[in-house]
């Protein structure tokens, strides 16, 4: 798909995500808006996957380590055909399989149960090592938040990935500079990420995480450095697409009022 086609899909995902969070009365809409462009590029351009056969052994794997943004993942999976689109209306309802964090045993297309931060990258390293041991060609992608990179488990995984030369592994850091309740810089400032990952032996690329052409190019198989795992530092904005949410830490875990919902939906519709 072209960047313009991907932008149309991403906008549709943002609108459905907004509606789902508003109707459920809960969610993590700020981080969902920041990661939507990345998820769109992955699912509609990069990943080798088949919604009709979600468990085929040679599929690519995507682990959404920042599992609290599950609603964005569910809407993306629905757009791709893994689950019915009308099931999004059950988000967070009793007995729904669309919980606040993704569940691999319940939702087709989900590769790992995530929620406790710092678990997704270690899981991804294991997946990438398994592919290497099997001499398989499939790739593993892991999306983390930047606040999540404060977790020590990530840095142990980073060391292991470099040690085992996992060039079939790509880490995408959703670098929106905000975490729950504060800015990352005011909590435990792990940025800048590029020199740290490079020092551990990774190939690193910094991009605009809302530029579809840049995202697609960075994720392309041709951008792999042989013998090195790759990290993409995607500079994004929490609440991207909605003026009053953008770069505002309050929208980490906040639900819009009826008036705010109408304004946000209007802005997203006008952006198409």
pLDDT at 153: 98
pLDDT for the residue 272 = 73
Residues 6+ apart with CB under 8 A from 28: 68, 69, 71, 252, 253
Record the tokens describing residue 180, joined without a space.
Answer: 């729950």
Domain boundaries, the chain: 3-270
CA distance 123 to 139: 13
Residue 17: what pLDDT?
98
| pTM, 2 dp | 0.97
Strands (E) in the chain, as ranges, are 61-64, 140-145, 169-175, 178-179, 182-183, 203-208, 230-235
Predicted pLDDT of residue 185: 95
Per-residue pLDDT tens listing for the chain (272 residues): 999 999 999 999 999 999 999 999 999 999 999 999 999 999 999 999 999 999 999 999 999 999 999 999 999 999 999 999 999 999 999 999 999 999 999 999 999 999 889 999 999 999 999 999 999 999 999 999 999 999 999 999 999 999 999 999 999 999 999 999 999 999 999 999 999 999 999 999 999 999 999 999 999 999 999 999 999 999 999 999 999 999 999 999 999 999 999 999 999 999 87
CA-CA distance, 262 to 264, in Å (whole number)? Answer: 6
**Residue 220: how many CB atoms within 10 A of its CB?**
11
- Give the residues across from 206 on adjacent strands: 233
**pLDDT reported for residue 221:** 96
What CATH number labels 3-270? 3.40.50.970
């Amino acid at each position: 798909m072209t960047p313009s086609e991907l932008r149309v899909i991403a906008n549709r995902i943002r609108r459905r995500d907004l509606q789902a969070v508003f109707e459920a009365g809960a969610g993590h809409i700020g981080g969902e808006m920041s990661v939507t462009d990345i998820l769109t590029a992955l699912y509609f351009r990069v990943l080798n996957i088949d919604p009709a056969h979600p468990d085929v052994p040679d599929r690519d794997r995507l682990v959404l380590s920042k599992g609290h943004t599950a609603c964005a993942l569910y809407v993306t999976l629905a757009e791709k055909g893994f689950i019915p689109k009308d099931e999004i209306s059950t988000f967070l309802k009793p007995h729904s399989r669309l919980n606040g964090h993704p569940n691999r045993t319940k939702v087709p297309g989900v590769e790992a149960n995530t929620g406790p931060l710092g678990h997704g990258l270690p899981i991804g390293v294991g997946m990438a090592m398994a592919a290497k041991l099997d001499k398989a060609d499939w790739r593993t992608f892991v999306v983390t938040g930047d606040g999540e990179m404060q977790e020590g488990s990530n840095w142990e995984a980073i060391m292991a990935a470099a040690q085992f030369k996992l060039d079939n592994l790509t880490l995408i850091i959703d670098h929106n500079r905000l975490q729950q309740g504060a800015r990352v810089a005011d909590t435990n400032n792990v940025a800048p990420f590029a020199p740290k990952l490079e020092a551990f032996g990774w190939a690193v690329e910094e991009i605009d995480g809302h530029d579809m052409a840049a995202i697609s190019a960075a994720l392309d198989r041709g951008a792999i450095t042989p013998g090195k795992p790759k990290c993409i530092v995607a500079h994004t904005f929490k609440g991207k697409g909605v003026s009053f949410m953008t770069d505002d830490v309050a929208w980490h875990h906040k639900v819009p009022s009826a008036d705010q919902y109408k304004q946000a939906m209007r802005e997203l519709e006008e952006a198409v």
